[in-house]
Amino acid sequence: MAKSGGSRGRPAKRGGPIRAKAPVKGSAAGAAKPKKPKTPPRPAEAASVAPPPARFTLGAIPGATPGKWIDTWKERMPHTALELVAVSIADQRRALLDAEVDAALVRLPLDSAGLHVIGLYEEQPVVVMAKDSHLTAGDELDPADLSGEVVIVPQDAVYDLDLPGTVAPRFAPPADTAAAIATVAAGVGVVIVPMSLARLHHRKDTEYRPLSGVPVSPVALAWVADRTGPAVEAFVGIVRGRTANSSRG
């Protein structure tokens, strides 16, 4: 007896939609897992900040002439720049205490409390007068030669001398030495200054003569006592004439 032609096996499911098989874990058909964000590369370490270049700040009152010491400094301390800063006589102590300068060439007298002060040199006082003044006849003057002269004392004066026989101006003191010398050039009065200031403010229409019998004007090096660093010590050695290899003392 012949067998029926149906194939053996599972009978086909009848009715209902055919359900898709669940994706095999790990297969390409499965939903892709979200990728972890890549760790950004670490930023390169910041380059180390170079320290500021070494610097020594020297204050100088008008008329000071530190040129030879600065030249020696450049030879001995090539890696430490020297900055020259102008300071007025009225501000010389404050500039030191406020650390605006490391040391300063100052004009004495100076309140030395908290400071080290080394005398450097003394300046000869001179009388500045108009070029056509009768005072130009002599090579040197003394206080008696100024009798009857109007002596101008500027607001930044180094000298305020009481000279018998001289006359006080009838106008307000000029703001500074340069203005006083300009007044003298116009034929009004005379002004007494250290020689360096006469040279600094020299004009073609003025002359100056040394004045004897009055105090000289001392110039010194000063710095704050508790801020005596290597640069200050090096400059002190230079102004004292030490050689590069000499010991401190």
The DSSP code sequence of 229-243 is: -HHHHHHHHHHTT--
State the CATH class of domain 55-123+218-239.
Answer: alpha beta
Res 248: pLDDT: 52
pLDDT at 242: 83
At 122, is the secondary structure helix, strand, or coil?
Answer: strand
- Kindly report, as residue ranges, where domains of CATH 3.40.190.10 are found in the chain: 55-123+218-239, 125-210
Tens of pLDDT along 51-72? 566 899 999 999 999 999 999 9
Q: Using CB atoms within 10 Å of the CB of residue 112, give its burial: 0 to 12 exposed, 13 to 18 middle, 19+ buried.
A: middle
Predicted confidence at residue 54, as pLDDT, reads 84
pLDDT tens sequence across 228-247: 999 999 999 999 998 776 64
Cα–Cα distance for residue pair 206/128, rounded to 1 Å = 7
Report pTM: 0.74
**Is CATH 3.40.190.10 the right assignment for the domain spanning 125-210?**
yes
The list of the chain residues with pLDDT below 50 reads 1-4, 6-7, 20, 27-29, 45-46, 247, 249
Helix (H) or strand (E) holding 69: helix 67-76
Angle at 195 between CA 189 and CA 200, to 5 degrees: 85
| The predicted structure's pLDDT at residue 46 | 46
Task: Show Cβ contacts of residue 183 under 8 Å, excluding neighbours closer than 6 positions.
Answer: 152, 174, 189, 191
User: What is the pLDDT, as a whole number, of residue 50?
Assistant: 54
Report whether 107 contacts 61 (CB < 8 A).
Answer: yes
